[in-house]
A and B are shown apart, each in its own frame.
Chain A
Amino acid sequence: MKGILVNSSCIFLLATVLLACGGESEKERTLPFLGRHDYTETDTVYHTVGDFRFVNQDSSWVTDETFEGKIYVSDFFFTSCPTICPIMKTQMLRVYDSTKTNDDVMILSHTIDPKHDTVAVLKEFANRLGVSSEKWHFVTGEKDEIYKIGQTSYMVSAVEDPTEPGGFIHSGAFILVDRKGRVRGLYDGTKADQVDKLIRDIDVLLKDKN
């Protein structure tokens, strides 16, 4: 009995130490700046997301200004996609739910199939997913513009490929962007553990006022 008592107090102690350490590192953790950096004489200039202008599920313009001062998560998908998109949307819904009460966090999903995914289709999709357009924008626009912003701003790729199920190859990445339009993380949106990390990283960014 005494042995058990000693044992369990050891475990308790260990757990306390671990918890304390975990808390410490989480508090101090900062996220990297992704993409190419430019250096001036006095400063480092980080890669930022370029200007854009798309239409969302409410037919409203969504531009880089919409996200000014906000943290947001971006991805590329299409509504009729049979392969990875449903998993991505399941996972993005977790991000949505975990940040529901925080107006500083938004989501931006680009369709890479604007021919099929019209505003009406995106509206229906968002409604059926049960999400608010204040927080989660589903956008469409010129196909070339969408592909370009994926490659140049978010460092992900999307191309048409008739041989793929659904007709497109695209990255399943979720891209985390900070309040100043700088890319701070890339996550595999098809893997729950990566999305766990994304959700933790959003908290890190929220505490960081820079």
Chain B
Amino acid sequence: MTRILLIVVVFVFTIVACTSSTSKNDEKLSHGEKVKIEQYLVEGQQLYTIHCANCHQPDGAGLAQLFPPLKNSDYLKENFETAICSMRYGLEGEIVVNGVTYNQKMPGISTLTDLEIAEIATYIYNSWGNERGLVAVNDVKEVLKNCKK
């Protein structure tokens, strides 16, 4: 009886341990890059909780047909620049995400710094089935220069 329990516990631990090291590119990254991405993820998650999770939900699933999901989102994948710009400048009008039309104005947060946007983007783009890798602050800077305001 206890042995079975022990086996189950060990099994669960193994699964948890395995899934927590998500990035599949782990081995290709240098130590420095790994630390950086970890840092961005931690900061990004905190910022996400404050600025984004109210609507997009803590698990990125969105809310009904009101707020689009970020989880496994085809829109996010195909519209990197728009996603970055929308964090600072907002987004208005219809968009289609995973086949569903959404049309709720997203307010921009003008006070977010380039670094904060990079951190949020790194978090969003590497959570819930999204696997883009680090979103560097220099890339974010470039994108932000060309936003439609």
Interchain CB contact under 8 A, A86 and B64 = no
Q: Is the interface of A mostly helix, strand, loop or mixed?
A: helix
Q: Contact mask A105-146 → B, CB, 8 Å, 1/0?
A: 000000000000000000011011110000000000000000
8 Å CB interface, A72-106 against B: 79-80, 82-84, 86-87, 89-90, 93
Select from chain A the residue with minimum beta-carbon distance to B56.
A86
Q: Contact mask A166-179 → B, CB, 8 Å, 1/0?
A: 10000000000000
Q: Please indicate the chain B residues that have their CB under 8 angstroms from the CB of A124 in the complex.
A: 103
B75 at the interface (CB under 8 A from A): no
Total residues of chain B contacting the partner, CB 8 A:
15
Interchain CB contact under 8 A, B2 and A4 = yes
Q: Inter-chain contact count A-B, CB under 8 Å?
A: 38
Interchain CB contact under 8 A, A89 and B105 = no
Q: Please indicate the chain B residues that have their CB under 8 angstroms from the CB of A166 in the complex.
A: 107
Partner of A82, one of B63, B66, B107: B107
8 Å CB interface, B114-146 against A: none
A162 at the interface (CB under 8 A from B): no
Select from chain B the residue with minimum beta-carbon distance to A131.
B64
Identify the B interface with A (CB < 8 A). 1-2, 54-55, 57, 63-67, 102-105, 107
Complex alpha-carbon distance, A80 and B105, angstroms: 7
Total residues of chain A contacting the partner, CB 8 A:
19
8 Å CB interface, A1-17 against B: 4
Identify the A interface with B (CB < 8 A). 4, 79-80, 82-84, 86-87, 89-90, 93, 124-125, 127-130, 165-166
**Could you list 28 A-B pairs, sorted by A, with CB under 8 Å?**
A79-B104, A80-B105, A82-B55, A82-B107, A84-B54, A86-B54, A86-B55, A86-B63, A86-B66, A86-B67, A87-B54, A89-B63, A89-B66, A90-B57, A90-B63, A93-B63, A93-B64, A125-B66, A127-B65, A128-B65, A128-B66, A128-B102, A128-B104, A129-B65, A129-B66, A130-B64, A130-B65, A166-B107
